[in-house]
Amino acid sequence: MTPVLSATNICAGYHSRKAVSNVSMVIPPAGVVTLIGANGAGKTTFLGALMGLLPSTGTILFQGEDITRASVHERVGMGMSLVSEKRDLFSSMSVEDNLVLGCYRRNRASSSSSLDEMYGRFPKLLERRHQEAGTLSGGERQMLAMGRALMAAPKLLMLDEPSLGLAPLIVQDIFRIVSELKSSGISILLVEQNARAALHVADHGCVMELGDVILQGPAKELLDNTRLMEIYLGSAA
């Protein structure tokens, strides 16, 4: 089966400072790959390079097609979607308008059926559909950002620290949604600092340190790796 994404030797940085060096990653269809690592490891930079938001070197194939030189716009059109750390919502617009904006490139009929689907997946958003996005709680904002990304019916959803700053119960919700999305056939690249929870929903894990992937393997094996648990999971392990 052709991977959804296959990135080889990706290097990216800021000015002349390298933040990601020679990172390679393969994401299979309907697979969840998690990229874990401490603050500043280069995770967000890597996502930016995949999405075409930052200049990078290396090769990126999306469903077998070389997109190394494709624009952000083209990557979105092909089915890549990124929910950034900042969630990037339109605060003074309603929840529903934020969702509808997520599928601006699709027709009206498919947009209303996707809206129904999003409200089914995120019932809180239905309750709050007419409320301004800026008045939502942190968890609701994350749900809205994910819902908006899903409105474009992506083949690959990239989530940058979706659980960051959220209360434990909401975090559970987010991870539950990630595993539901996986069952629905979407491939997911999940960037997380919550390593244990991320490895529990993922098939494959990559550990990043100072711009390098220093360890990767099946998620179950990483969970059983005592050294990794000590370093990345601290006392919580």
Ligand X SMILES: Nc1ncnc2c1ncn2[C@@H]1O[C@H](COP(=O)(O)OP(=O)(O)O)[C@@H](O)[C@H]1O
- The residue among 23 and 99 lying less far from ligand X, judged by its C-beta, is 23
**Sheet containing 56-62: which strands, arranged edge to edge?**
17-27, 5-14, 56-62, 65-66
Cα–Cα dist 175/198, whole Å: 8
Residue 14 binds what, of Mg ion, ligand X, none (CB under 5 to 8 Å, by partner type)?
ligand X
- The residue among 125 and 191 lying less far from ligand X, judged by its C-beta, is 191
- Contact of 178 with 209, CB cutoff 8 Å: no
Give me the residues that bind ligand X (CB under 6 A), please. 14, 19, 37, 39-45
The identity of residue 119, as a single letter, is Y
In the bound complex, what is the minimum distance in angstroms from residue 40's beta carbon to Mg ion? 8
Tokens of 227: 């050294």
In the bound complex, what is the minimum distance in angstroms from residue 50's beta carbon to ligand X? 12
User: Interacting stretch for Mg ion, rule CB under 5 A, among 38-46, 66-74, 76-84, 170-178?
Assistant: 38-46
Site string for Mg ion, 39-58 (x = CB under 5 A): ----xx--------------
In the bound complex, what is the minimum distance in angstroms from residue 33's beta carbon to ligand X? 15
- For residue 122, the 8-state DSSP code is -
Cα–Cα dist 61/180, whole Å: 26
